[in-house]
A and B are shown apart, each in its own frame.
Chain A
Amino acid sequence: MKTDSLIEMLSTNVEPVRRGEIWRSLALALVLGLVAAFGVMLVTIGGRPKLIAPQSLFSVALKTVFALTVIVSSGVALIRLAKPEGERMRLAPYLLPMLLALLLGGLIGLGLVVSSSRAAAVIGTQTWTCITCIPLFALLPFLALIFALRRAAPTDLRRTGAIAGLLAGGVGAVVYAFHCPDDSVLFVTVWYGSALAFCTLIGALLGPRFLRW
């Protein structure tokens, strides 16, 4: 085929492009993923007992704020990574807030708990549920994000996959927070942190496979 004929074909009846398509489809994927993951949580492990008790609400709110830090910063980064020049961006400024939150959480957690009961505070009661359920709840949001990203044009597929994994993990964490009976700051820092790291890793592994265009 001649390149001129291709150009002729492509420029016949050009449709105007709606602004902000990528932003909107990623936001839609995020919302649908969140709703779906919340549904999965409700029909599987369910919400924590006495959710509306002040102590529970406070803990859920704290965990949610932490997960929102993850969601907002990785979401903003993902919008940039979804576009071709994303390969030139530096991720560190976007990751710093959540890393600081983790560090701060760890320090506060250590300060709050006397050394003899630190081990108990870290281990918690539902550790295994936490580190399996956060990635599992992240699955549907991750698929939705991948679907949206396939309509975008990421060029650094590994980093895009990783950040999509982290964002999905953040959604998983918010959802799990409504079940999680372990309220120690150390528990959240260690296990939510590990689950998020795991989601990021899986995203980095799957990105290059799923996002090619």
Chain B
Amino acid sequence: MGTSSQEADLHRLMRGSLSGDSGSHRELLKLLSGYLRAYFRRKLTHTGRSVADAEDLVQETLIAIHIHRNAYDLSRPLVPWVYSIARYKLIDFLRRTKALAKDIPIDEVEGLTAHDDRAEVESAFELDTLLERLPTKMRRAIQFVKLKGLSVREAAERCGMSESAIKVSVHRGLRQLSLLVKQEIGS
């Protein structure tokens, strides 16, 4: 697969995702997870680390991409944007677990390779246990809207909160969750 058609596909999916299309978002994250898996496995091997941590990093990065997609500008290419986040997350991980950033050069943007090994796509942490550590409002908002798939309006009725309060709780909850994931991986 050539880099430009990859970029075009991903870019189209991101455009859909930013306009609130769940299908595009799912497809985008699925594709990216394959690329990220290959990236982290390669880099962890190069830095003499265990590839066992790769899936944790894939998931941490997917959450980061989800939360920070407001920092993506559609007029710019997507692949370097994703690489920058992946590299940041990798360096942050290596630093947390004591290693040097200079070991990982800023990459030339290369063609993406995917790694879809079905057997090993599980991280070391459980979503349910992490959710229990969130404040009640955020946990319930995430459970209703993101896990049970209720609409924001339905969730608002059940929680006795306004729709915008639900949206804010989901967003803050995911932010908090990403911090918990990070703690979990760092330890």
Contact = CB atoms under 8 A, between A and B. Distances in A.
Contacts of B92: 212
A159 to B, nearest CB: 13
B29 A10 contact: yes
A6 B127 contact: yes
Interface residues of B, number: 52
B81 A85 contact: yes
A54 interface: no
Interface residues of A, number: 32
Interface in B32-91: 33, 55, 58-59, 62-64, 66, 68-73, 76, 80-81, 84-85, 87-88
A12 B151 CA distance: 9
B123 interface: yes
Main secondary structure of the interface of B (DSSP, over half): helix
Contact of B68 (A14, A84, A85): A84
Nearest to A156: B88
Nearest to B96: A212
Interface string A7-24: 111111111111001100
B181 to A, nearest CB: 9
B169 interface: no
Interface string B118-143: 00011101110000000000000010
B29 A88 contact: no
B146 A13 contact: yes
A5 interface: yes
B18 A17 contact: yes
B85 A155 contact: yes
Given A1-B123, A5-B127, A16-B19, A11 B25 contact: yes
Contacts of B156: none
Given A1-B122, A1-B127, A84-B85, A11 B22 contact: yes
Nearest to B88: A155
B20 interface: yes
B18 A16 contact: yes
B21 interface: yes
A16 B33 contact: no
Nearest to B129: A1
Contacts of B145: 12-13
B62 A21 contact: no
Nearest to B143: A9
Given A85-B76, A153-B68, A3 B149 contact: no
Contacts of B23: 11
Nearest to A208: B95
B22 A14 contact: yes
B147 interface: yes
28 contacts: A1-B123, A1-B125, A2-B121, A2-B122, A3-B122, A6-B59, A6-B63, A6-B127, A9-B127, A10-B25, A10-B29, A10-B146, A11-B25, A12-B145, A13-B145, A13-B146, A13-B149, A13-B152, A14-B17, A16-B20, A17-B19, A17-B69, A21-B70, A22-B71, A85-B81, A152-B71, A153-B64, A153-B71
Considering the complex of A and B, which 4 residue pairs feature the smallest CB-CB distances, nearest first?
A16-B20, A84-B84, A11-B26, A153-B68
